Amino acid sequence: MNTLPTELSSIDTELEVNDSTRWIKACTVKDVPEDGGACMLHNNEQIALFYFVSRGEWYAVQNLCPHKMQMALSRGIIGDLNGEPKVACPFHKKTFSLQTGCNLNGEQYAIKTYPVKIENDFVYIGV
C-alpha cells in the first residue's frame, strides 16, 4: 500500500449542482493513497485531500498549517481522537478535526474544511 503523500495537479473542472456549492473535480479516487493525503491547487489555494479508509470517508481541508504557516497538512498523519477524525501536522504535531477544522490541542488555530463527494470514481471538492 502506498501511503506516501501525493501531489496532484488541478484538473479544475467545475460541476454545477442544484445547491449553492460549486464542485471542483479534483482527481480520481485512485489518485489519493489509502489512509493518506494528497494536495491539489485550486485558484492559488492548496487543498489537502484525505481518504480515511477505516471510516470509509473523504475529507478536504486547507493544506496550510496555521501554527508555523507551512504547506504541510497533506503530508500529515490521520487518525481519530475519541471518534473525531483528525490530521496531525507532520512538523509539530498540531492536530485538527477533519470535520470541523477545530484545533484538538486546545489552541486557537483552526483550518478551513471543504465538503467532498465521490461520483463515478472522481473526487469532487466543494468550494
CATH number of the CATH domain containing 77: 2.102.10.10
In a domain, 85, yes or no: yes
Cell of 45: 489555494
List pLDDT tens digits, range 29-83: 999 999 999 999 999 999 999 999 999 999 999 999 999 999 999 999 999 999 9
Q: Structural domain tally of the chain? A: 1
Q: For residue 114, what are the domain limits?
A: 6-126
Cell of 28: 480520481
In a domain, 55, yes or no: yes
Q: What pTM was computed for the model? A: 0.84
Whether the Cβ atoms of residue 42 and residue 24 lie closer than 8 Å to each other: yes
In a domain, 29, yes or no: yes
Name 44's Cβ contacts closer than 8 Å, sequence gap at least 6: none
In a domain, 1, yes or no: no
